[in-house]
Amino acid sequence: MKPFRFGVNALSAGSRADWAAKARKLEDMGYWILCVPDHLTEMLAPMPALVAAAAATTRLRVGTNVLNNDLRHPVLVAREAATVDLLTDGRFQLGLGAGHMRSEYEQAGISYDPGRTRVERLAEAVAIIKQLLAGETVSLTGRHYRVTDHAIHPRPVQRPHPPILIGGGGPVMLRFAAEEADIVSVFTQYGPDGRELPQNTAEAIAQKVETVRSPRGLDGTT
């Protein structure tokens, strides 16, 4: 049994001093981790914000909750994750997701693919990221990514890699997370149009947890 731990999603700050003060306050209050979401709106970019939060604290872990896989190539994610883990003295947690907010895709000119395609792309990305963080030289030709004889520098402090959290709400995503993640984050489920589905009931959450424990009942939603 692992201890019950608490974390906070922090979105923004008006200055470096303000952000550092928030991080120190969370640490002083006993929180275990400060996480930053990844949306193209009025919030800080995750990676630099996490490095700054770690620099202002001594014990507080930091993490992404979660990076939208469609916004970055997995080679760059692995390189940045390793660098952040190094600069935070091994306090980094890498959270990944398939993306869901259709309006952000449209604003950025990125194709909003069906859920199964986004999950398939995330699966390829996770395979690449894990191998690179473990120090392997990666060659992969997949449906979505092609990597040839590539290794990253630096290596992360945590071995073989920082803890990987995968967030999802539908059975396909939860099954994938159960198989590949160190930590599974149970999110709200989203429909094909990217809108949140009304499923935040105790019964719905219990079913999601059961899917993680015993993956089954896939229906094609994410």
Domain that holds residue 189: 66-213
Give the C-alpha separation, 186 to 168, whole Å: 6
Q: What is the DSSP letter of 64?
A: E
Counting the structural domains of the chain, the total is 1
In this structure, is residue 15 part of a structural domain? no
In this structure, is residue 12 part of a structural domain? no
Q: What is the DSSP letter of 72?
A: S
Mean per-residue pLDDT over the chain, rounded: 91
Contact yes or no for 166/177 (Cβ under 8 A) = yes
* Closest to 99 measured CA to CA, from 80, 83, 120, 79: 120
The band of 133, judged by pLDDT with boundaries at 50, 70 and 90, is very high
**Residues 60, 23, 126, 154: is their CA dihedral positive or negative?**
negative
Q: Which pLDDT does position 218 carry in this prediction?
A: 41
In this structure, is residue 90 part of a structural domain? yes
Q: Which residue has the tokens 């916004």?
A: 71
CATH number of residue 105's parent domain: 3.20.20.30
- In single-letter form, the type of residue at position 54 comes to A
pTM of the model: 0.90
The band of 215, judged by pLDDT with boundaries at 50, 70 and 90, is low
- What is the longest distance spanned by two Cα atoms in the chain? 48
In this structure, is residue 197 part of a structural domain? yes
In this structure, is residue 24 part of a structural domain? no
Per-residue pLDDT for 222 more than 60? no
* Closest to 187 measured CA to CA, from 38, 55, 48, 79: 38
In this structure, is residue 32 part of a structural domain? no
Q: Which pLDDT does position 193 carry in this prediction?
A: 60
Tell whether omega for the bond before 198 is within 30 degrees of 0, i.e. cis.
no
In this structure, is residue 47 part of a structural domain? no
Give the C-alpha separation, 41 to 124, whole Å: 27
Give the C-alpha separation, 144 to 116, whole Å: 13
Q: Which pLDDT does position 190 carry in this prediction?
A: 64
Contact yes or no for 201/81 (Cβ under 8 A) = no
In this structure, is residue 27 part of a structural domain? no
Q: In whole angstroms, what separates CA 198 from the centre of its chain? A: 23
pLDDT in tens, 64-90: 999 999 999 999 999 999 999 999 999
